[in-house]
């Protein structure tokens, strides 16, 4: 009897599709499995390669199936798409996953631990609450503009707007009630955000790697925690350049015929981490401009000859390479750059 070498698993909420193949790629079975049947099915299979798309719940199923003795491989969804032959259904997707995972040059996603997911939950929950707070503040600002009440943007502007609402005598009672309701919601969100930020600071201080990352100018507890919770293992990259390239902080290439054509940054990898690194770089440059200190000579020359955002992106690339070095080689960052 032919032995199963690789199983492609198309994930879903309730009904899963499994596609088994031998070493030559020949299909041995294709069957649907309910959520209750899934682990029982894999426990009855001999140890083999199990491939899945790196999507929602993939890390959970990866940990559970790996505990049964299988080798689990998670593939980015956009790497699987080219292997879908024609049409789209669960069986075709599972076959494509199986085919993609068998390629010797395929790149895989590291399975995250339950601890990493817990830390990521703290970070993403704070991110959600910050977005909700911003939406509520913008709603208050927009409603007040209809009654001629205006204030500068930012937290100080919002505080000034609250004072204008309290002093306004011609504001309709219904509008005042709605605005007070929104402001109470904003105050509640700020309290919840503060709780999560304290939790993130505690988690960051517990980990020596996170403490080392916070020695990098611009990086605080939030970014340090996000690097470990959302990012891959830095040891999976050969160099800091590869890590920065995965982050999408390098120019996109449109080269052909020996002619190099570089465009905007690729914006690949984790969007949240890239955004945080760019914010960290922008904070460093803004701090330098305000304090009028002498920065790192490399950064000083860059700021003198290139636009600010180009310098911010280049510094974000450098921060990403430093993050890789500290995670792989250890130590604490020491730099002539002042913040």
DSSP H or E stretch at residue 264: strand 262-265
> Nearest CA to 241 among 172, 321, 308?
321
pLDDT value at residue 101: 95
Look at the block and give the residue holding tokens 């993050």. 323
Helix (H, G, I), strand (E, B) or coil at 139: helix
Cα separation, 282 vs 306, in Å, equals: 14
pLDDT tens digits for range 188-206? 999 999 999 999 999 988 8
Provide the 8-state DSSP code for 335.
-
Cα separation, 183 vs 189, in Å, equals: 10
Indicate if the pLDDT at residue 99 is higher than 90.
Answer: yes
Distances (CA, A) of 78 to 75, 81, 93, 96, 266: 8, 5, 12, 11, 15
pLDDT tens digits for range 120-165? 999 999 999 999 999 999 999 999 999 999 888 888 899 999 999 9
Distances (CA, A) of 247 to 196, 252, 303, 329: 26, 12, 23, 19
Give percent above pLDDT 70 in the chain: 98
**b/e sequence 170-205, b meaning 16+ C-beta within 10 Å:** ebeeeeeeebeeebeebeebeeebeebbebbbebbe
Which tokens sit at 154?
Answer: 């930012």
Residue 325 neighbours by CB under 8 Å, 6+ apart: 240
Mean of per-residue pLDDT scores for the chain = 91
pLDDT tens digits for range 22-59? 999 999 999 999 999 999 999 999 999 999 999 989 99
Dihedral sign, Cα of residue 303, residue 308, residue 313, residue 319:
positive
DSSP H or E stretch at residue 133: helix 114-145
| Dihedral angle, C-alpha 197, 203, 209, 213, nearest 10 ° | 10
Indicate if the pLDDT at residue 288 is higher than 90.
Answer: no
DSSP count for the chain of H helices, then E strands? 13, 7
């Amino acid at each position: 009897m032919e032995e199963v070498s690789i199983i492609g698993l198309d994930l879903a909420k309730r009904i899963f599709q499994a596609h088994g193949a031998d070493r030559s790629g020949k299909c041995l079975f294709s069957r649907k499995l309910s959520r209750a049947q899934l682990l029982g099915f894999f426990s009855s299979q001999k140890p083999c390669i199990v491939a899945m798309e790196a999507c929602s719940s993939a890390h959970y199923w990866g940990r559970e199936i790996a505990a049964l003795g299988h080798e689990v491989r998670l593939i980015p969804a956009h790497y699987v798409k080219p292997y879908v032959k024609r049409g789209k259904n669960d069986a075709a997707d599972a076959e494509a996953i199986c085919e993609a995972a068998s390629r010797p040059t395929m790149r895989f996603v590291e399975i995250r631990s339950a601890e990493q997911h817990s830390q990521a939950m703290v970070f993403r929950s704070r991110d959600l609450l910050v977005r909700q707070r911003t939406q509520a503040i913008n709603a208050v600002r927009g409603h007040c503009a209809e009654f001629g009440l205006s204030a500068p943007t930012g937290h100080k502007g919002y505080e000034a707007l609250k004072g204008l609402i309290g002093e306004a005598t011609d504001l309709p009672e219904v509008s005042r009630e709605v605005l007070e309701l929104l402001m109470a919601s904003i105050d509640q969100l700020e309290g919840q955000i503060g709780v999560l930020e304290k939790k993130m600071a505690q988690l960051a201080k517990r980990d020596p790697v996170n403490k080392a990352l916070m020695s990098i100018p611009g990086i605080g507890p939030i970014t340090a925690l996000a690097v470990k919770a959302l990012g891959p293992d830095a040891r999976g990259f050969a160099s800091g350049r590869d890590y920065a390239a995965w982050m999408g902080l390098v120019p996109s290439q449109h080269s052909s015929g020996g002619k190099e054509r570089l465009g905007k940054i690729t914006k690949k990898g984790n969007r949240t981490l890239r955004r945080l690194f760019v914010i960290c770089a922008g904070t460093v440059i803004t701090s330098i401009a305000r304090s009028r200190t002498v920065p790192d000579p490399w950064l000083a020359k860059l700021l003198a000859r290139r636009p600010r955002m180009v310098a911010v992106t280049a510094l974000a690339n450098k921060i990403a390479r430093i993050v890789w070095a500290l995670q792989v080689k250890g130590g604490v960052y020491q730099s002539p750059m002042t913040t």
